[in-house]
């Protein structure tokens, strides 16, 4: 979900899991499905809220912040949200409406199938906590970045 250093994360061609190609260069297995991606990894834009790849075009400026509450026993650099977040059109509409409960429900619906051992209520609370920290660290209004053609 959120916190990917770049706004264009890479996904496994086999299972769609977002992967860090700095740690898993082409030719190595995906940490989720084990399939080898070689160098033909698609670059896609992913919503930092629900992980949808559809219309993730809204940029929300934000400061860096810790993604987990207790980072004392962890390498905090690995659990930090870095900079701006992207939102798809649907998540953007929920954020603008201030409906963070529906936003969290949408995110749980997208994430729960990929988190086999998690309980829905636990995941909902964690996502709401993360969204609250994101909202506290927003630094400006959302905008759509123009492409190279000025559109």
Query: Tell me: the pLDDT tens digits for 70-94?
Result: 545 444 445 778 889 999 999 999 9
For residue 36, tell me if it sits in a domain: yes
The angle at the Cα of 90, spanning 103 to 14, to the nearest 5 degrees, equals 95
For residue 24, tell me if it sits in a domain: yes
Alpha-carbon gap, residue 53 to 47, rounded angstroms: 6
The tokens for 92 are: 């953007």
For residue 150, tell me if it sits in a domain: no
Of 102, 92, 101, 99, the residue nearest 52 (C-alpha) = 92
For residue 55, tell me if it sits in a domain: yes
Q: Count structural domains, the chain.
A: 1
Percent of the chain with pLDDT over 70: 66
For residue 148, tell me if it sits in a domain: no
H or E segment to which residue 116 belongs: none
Of 40, 115, 47, 51, the residue nearest 30 (C-alpha) = 40
Between 99 and 150, the higher pLDDT residue: 99
For residue 5, tell me if it sits in a domain: no
Of 62, 123, 124, 53, the residue nearest 89 (C-alpha) = 53
* pLDDT tier for residue 28 given thresholds of 50, 70 and 90: low
The tokens for 73 are: 């026993």
For residue 92, tell me if it sits in a domain: yes
Residues 6+ apart with CB under 8 A from 5: 82
Alpha helix stretches (DSSP H) within the chain: 89-97, 100-111, 120-136
For 104, the domain range is 10-143
Predicted pLDDT at 13: 72
């Amino acid at each position: 979900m959120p916190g990917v250093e770049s706004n264009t994360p890479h996904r496994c061609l086999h299972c769609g899991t977002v992967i860090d190609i700095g740690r898993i260069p082409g030719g190595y297995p995906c940490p989720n499905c084990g399939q080898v991606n070689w160098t033909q990894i698609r670059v896609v834009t992913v919503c930092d809220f629900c992980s949808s790849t559809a219309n993730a075009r809204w940029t929300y400026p934000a400061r860096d912040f810790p993604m987990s509450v207790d980072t004392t026993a962890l390498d905090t650099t690995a659990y930090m949200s870095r900079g701006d977040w992207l939102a798809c059109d649907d998540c953007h509409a929920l954020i603008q409406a201030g409906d963070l409960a529906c936003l969290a429900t949408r995110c749980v619906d997208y994430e729960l199938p990929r988190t086999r051992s998690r309980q829905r209520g636990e995941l909902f609370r964690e996502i709401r906590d993360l969204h609250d920290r994101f909202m506290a660290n927003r630094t400006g209004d959302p905008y759509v970045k123009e492409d190279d053609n000025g559109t």
